[in-house]
């Protein structure tokens, strides 16, 4: 009964944590490609090649369903994987759609035509590759009409978090929020479109002001995963053990993960 969760590094742990508390009977195998993080500055082919390799590694652990808990991989590689690469007995799901369904006040999996929604001015904070892909705007356009999206590519934030330099991460968050506000002074909602950013959620909220609704993915993705598994129970794979795998240095990655999640996490080499 195992599901795979993949991220370029530590950010997907925010999704893993929410999913593991919401679905205590499911084992989760987490794979962080820390050796190649950040993905957000790589080109689409590179991201596709790294992501498919990581997903294959999770299949070896008995995970037929893999969540790409990485917006950059979801934006730059998921469509190509689903259209041209994925075998019919496997599934890979991304993290964008649950977020957009929540923003556009839809039930999980509601694919009815686009309609007007309450929120009109949305700030998107994401990696340079996610912003360049315009995947968020494309998925939003399938579901909502008349929403103005201003995207801010948040260079450096993922590197600072992966290095455990939270002072630099906070300074970068403040400067990216300032840059966004120069383009869109009064966003109604802000999307944290990178799974690393919930680790800086308080800083984003403080810089944006408390009247801006900040959407982050962990709880939304885990709720949508629970709904998906109810509808597709056969996609829970044969794996029987939760574990944490990394392509990086397991000792260093375990220390950072333990610091972020405030509980002991032990990574093994992938
Ligand atoms: N957590 C990944 C995401 O959601 C980080 C991207 C990166 O490695 O740059 O986009």
Q: State whether the Cα torsion 206-212-214-220 is positive or negative.
A: positive
Confidence at residue 168, expressed as pLDDT on a 0 to 100 scale: 98
- Give the number of other Cβ atoms within 10 Å of residue 117's Cβ: 17
Atom of ligand 1 nearest to the CA of 193: 4
Q: How far is the CA of 266 from the centre of ligand 1 (A)?
A: 21
* 8 Å CB contact between 81 and 19: no
Confidence at residue 200, expressed as pLDDT on a 0 to 100 scale: 94
- 63 assigned to active site: no
Atom of ligand 1 nearest to the CA of 41: 9
* 253-261, Cβ contacts within 8 angstroms, sequence gap of 24 or more: 253/10, 253/32, 253/34, 256/10, 256/162, 256/164, 257/10, 257/13, 259/164, 260/10, 260/13, 260/199, 261/13, 261/17
Q: Residue 253's closest CA among 20, 68, 52, 11?
A: 11
Report the residue among 17, 70, 131, 155 best suited for mutation to probe ligand 1: largest number of ligand atoms under 8 A from its CB. 70
Residues in the ligand 1 pocket, defined by CB under 6 Å: 7-9, 11, 37-40, 70-72, 127, 130, 158, 194-196
- 70 assigned to active site: yes
pLDDT by residue, tens only, the chain of 270 residues:
699 999 999 999 999 999 999 999 999 999 999 999 999 999 999 999 999 999 999 999 999 999 999 999 999 999 999 999 999 999 999 998 899 998 888 887 788 889 999 999 999 999 999 999 999 999 999 999 999 999 999 999 999 999 999 999 999 999 999 999 999 999 999 999 999 999 999 999 999 999 999 998 898 999 999 999 999 988 887 777 899 999 999 999 999 999 988 899 999 999
Confidence at residue 173, expressed as pLDDT on a 0 to 100 scale: 98
């Amino acid at each position: 009964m195992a599901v795979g969760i993949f991220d370029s590094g530590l950010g997907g742990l925010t999704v893993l944590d929410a999913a593991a508390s919401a679905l205590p009977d499911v084992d989760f195998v987490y794979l962080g490609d820390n050796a190649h993080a950040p993905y957000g500055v790589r080109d689409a082919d590179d991201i596709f090649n790294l992501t498919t390799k990581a997903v294959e590694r999770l299949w070896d652990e008995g995970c037929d369903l893999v969540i790409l808990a990485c917006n950059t991989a979801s934006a730059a590689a998921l469509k190509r994987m689903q259209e041209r690469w994925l075998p019919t007995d496997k599934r890979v799901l991304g993290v964008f759609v649950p977020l957009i369904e929540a923003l556009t006040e839809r039930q999980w999996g509601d694919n009815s035509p686009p309609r007007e929604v309450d929120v009109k001015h949305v700030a998107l904070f994401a990696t340079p590759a996610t912003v360049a892909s315009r995947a968020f705007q494309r998925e939003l356009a399938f579901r909502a009409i008349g929403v103005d999206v201003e995207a801010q590519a948040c260079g450096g934030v993922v590197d600072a978090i992966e290095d455990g330099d939270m002072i630099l991460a906070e300074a970068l968050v403040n400067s990216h929020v300032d840059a966004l506000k120069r383009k869109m002074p009064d966003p109604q909602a802000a999307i944290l479109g990178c799974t690393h950013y919930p680790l800086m959620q308080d800083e984003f909220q403080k810089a944006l002001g408390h009247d801006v609704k900040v959407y982050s993915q962990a709880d939304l993705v885990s709720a949508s995963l629970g709904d998906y598994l109810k509808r597709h129970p056969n996609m829970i794979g044969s794996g029987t053990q939760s574990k944490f795998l990394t392509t990086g240095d397991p000792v260093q990655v375990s220390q950072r993960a333990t610091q972020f999640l405030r509980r002991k996490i032990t990574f093994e080499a992938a």
